[in-house]
Amino acid sequence: MMRAFIAVAREGSFTKAGRRLGISTKLVSKYVQQLENQLQTQLFNRTTRSVSLTDVGAAYLERCRPILEQVDELDALVRERQGALAGPIRITAPTGFGSTRLTQALIPFLRQNREVELDMKLTDNRVAIVEEGFDLAIRIGALRDSTLIARKLTDMPLILCASPEYLDRHGRPQDPRALSTHACLVDNNQREINVWRFKSGAHEHVVRLNGAIQTNSPGALAQMAIGGLGITRSPFYAVEEALNSNLLEHVLPNYKTDVFGLYALYPPNRHLTRRVRALIDFLASEMGRQA
């Protein structure tokens, strides 16, 4: 019953909770109703379109989540005593990176550890890691101030690029200052949205952009650059395939631009289980090898 309640609270839906747990919506509803009857209180406000926690439900969720985590941990501990990593890992990551480079790295880990139960949520929106019950988050770029613990996995170079067709029409910049006359496709996840910095030897060049097109998705920026809309600066993973197939061309290759860090973040007040620690170590090794 408690597991069904937490799933509904996390998903905001009885149907989605049923999918997560692998049971029917009707059974999820039955378990939650039994729990409310047992506690003699209403845990959710229900309408035809939404499900939300009552004040009592929110307080109950805060207290029962660590209990369920301890139950899961005890179960995993018994299995891990047999020598294998076991138990659930909830992880969140950016959509583009998570569906490509991260997934490629996870496949060998999951093949080696068949009893690990992975639950991965991919989103380009910021996720409340503690509140939503994640064990681990993967982040790219400058980290915001946070109480989360961060371990750097590797460096992620940024590549300035555009389609050959765009560069044929508008010219190939030979100096960062020339970018001020070009259409630039901007990642608005960055702290300085309309500023790109470059280094050549000991000199730093700061360019203020005409960034008419912005998005929070490096994958979308890469596709727009392939479509000839302008010059973009993107993490290497998002443009690697397009560069190799000549759909994109490296711009200003003799100038160095910023390097983003790739980080694993996890809550400081949560015991880092052996399986989560093993996954972080594996990703650090795998991502470092690929860099």
Query: Which pTM does this prediction carry?
Result: 0.67
Q: What is the separation of C-alpha 55 from the centre of its chain, rounded to a whole number of angstroms?
A: 30
Q: How far apart are CA 284 and CA 74, in angstroms?
A: 27
Nearest Cα to Cα of residue 183 among 243, 238, 235, 251: 251
Torsion of CA 97, 100, 105, 111, to 10 degrees: 130
169: its two tokens = 């029409």
Q: Give CA separation, 162 vs 78, 105, 232, 238, in Å.
A: 54, 28, 6, 13
Architecture (CATH level 2) of domain 1-70: Orthogonal Bundle (1.10)
Sequence letter at residue 69: E
Q: How far apart are CA 212 and CA 209, in angstroms?
A: 9
Tell me which residue has tokens 């959710």: 44
120: its two tokens = 């991965």
Question: CATH assignment of 157-258, given 3.30.460.80, 3.40.50.970, 3.40.50.300, 3.40.190.290?
Answer: 3.40.190.290
Contact 94, 124 (CB under 8 A): yes
Q: Mind listing the pLDDT tens digit for each residue in 136-189?
A: 999 987 777 578 889 999 998 899 999 999 999 999 999 998 998 899 999 887
220: its two tokens = 């979308």
229: its two tokens = 């809309």
> 221: Cβ–Cβ under 8 A, 6 or more apart, which residues?
185, 186, 187, 215, 232, 234, 238
> 62: Cβ–Cβ under 8 A, 6 or more apart, which residues?
none
- Per-residue pLDDT 10s for the chain (291 aa) are 888 888 888 888 898 888 878 888 888 899 899 988 888 889 898 887 788 889 888 888 888 877 777 777 776 666 656 567 888 899 999 988 999 999 999 999 999 998 898 999 998 887 888 778 788 999 987 777 578 889 999 998 899 999 999 999 999 999 998 998 899 999 887 777 788 989 888 888 888 887 678 888 888 999 999 999 999 999 988 999 999 999 999 999 999 888 888 999 988 866 678 889 999 999 999 887 765
| Strand partners of residue 155 | 261
All CATH 1.10.10.10 domain ranges in the chain, comma separated: 1-70
All CATH 3.40.190.290 domain ranges in the chain, comma separated: 157-258
